[in-house]
Every structure is written in structure tokens, then in C-alpha cells.
Amino acid sequence: MVKSNTGASLLGQHVAMPQTPEEAELDRVPNPHVGTNYVARFTAPEFTSLCPVTGQPDFAHIVIDYVPGDWLVESKSLKLYLSAFRNHGAFHEDCTIRIAKDLAELLQPKWLRIGGYWYPRGGMPIDVFWQTGEPPKGAWIPDQGVPPYRGRG
């Protein structure tokens, strides 16, 4: 993953879909409300990656919440980064935690959490959760809104 600190380098131009997460560029832009604790949420209900054993597609509903510090993630770059996992073979846990750690490193947020709600593989759903620590006092942290697996759809 290439990180851009200049911000918005992908906006306003045609960009080819990166083939791997390593080729993807995540952009960050300045937070216009530094000092205010608020939650920004990104939801990717059609996230896909490849099973590293069978090569078959895996599907997940990914929810990313963070309380920004000095930086925001630029949404087009995040969309392209997440799409790059379509050709990436990795276990559910690896994909989920990699996304979280890449964003935490890029943004240095006050707080970040990710919920990876994976559809069944071999008859068993695997959900993966991670966060950087305790959320800041006074920040409203809503439920991620994804129910336990019962034939999600």
C-alpha cells in the first residue's frame, strides 16, 4: 500500500482499479474539525477477497469507525484500496486486521475500530473485530448495526 500525505491525489481523475492492496494508494486529507471528537463511519457491504486455500471468493460486510485526529481518509482512495482485495488471497482475520492497521498507521486517529462480518465459509461465519483502544470520552460510538449471522442479506 502506497500512502499519500498530500491528500486527494486520486480525485477528479480516472484511476485504474489496483490489482492488489500493495498497489493501492490510500490518501489522507486534513481534518477540518481537529479538537472535536466525532465518529466517521465507512461501510463496505460488498467486500470481497479470495480464500488463500481454494481461491474461491469470500464476502464480508466491513464497518470502519474512527475518531479522527489531524487526518481523514479520502473516501475514493479507501474504496479503491478495499476493492483491491478482490484479487488478494488471505484469511478473514488477516484481511480485517490489515485494513485496520493500514488505516491506523496512515491516519493516527484518536480511536479506530473495525468489524469484519464475513459470510459463511464451510458453513461457519467468521466475524473479526479490532480496535485501537478505548474511545475518547464524550464521543458517541453507535452500534455497528450488523446482526449476528442468520442468513444475512
In terms of Cβ atoms closer than 10 Å to its own Cβ (0-12, 13-18, 19+), residue 153 is exposed
pLDDT single digits (tens) 84-140 = 999 999 999 999 999 999 999 999 999 999 999 999 888 888 999 999 999 999 999
Q: Where are the alpha helices (DSSP H) in 1-153?
A: 75-83, 92-107
Q: Are 78 and 18 in contact (CB under 8 A)?
A: no
Nearest to 36 by CA among 139, 148, 144, 128: 139
pLDDT single digits (tens) 59-98 = 999 999 999 999 999 999 999 999 999 999 999 999 999 9
Residue 127 included in any domain: yes
At 2, is the pLDDT very low, low, confident or very high (cuts 50, 70, 90)? low
| Confidence at residue 1, expressed as pLDDT on a 0 to 100 scale | 57
By residue range, what is the domain housing residue 22? 2-131
Residue 72: which CATH number? 3.30.1130.10
pLDDT single digits (tens) 13-59 = 788 889 999 999 999 999 999 999 999 999 999 999 999 999 999 99
Number of domains in the chain: 1
E strands along 31-135, which residues? 40-50, 57-67, 71-73, 111-118, 127-131
Residue 152 included in any domain: no
Residue 82 included in any domain: yes
Residue 42 included in any domain: yes
Residue 49 included in any domain: yes
Residue 41 included in any domain: yes
Q: Are 128 and 116 in contact (CB under 8 A)?
A: yes
The catalytic site residues sit at: 51, 58
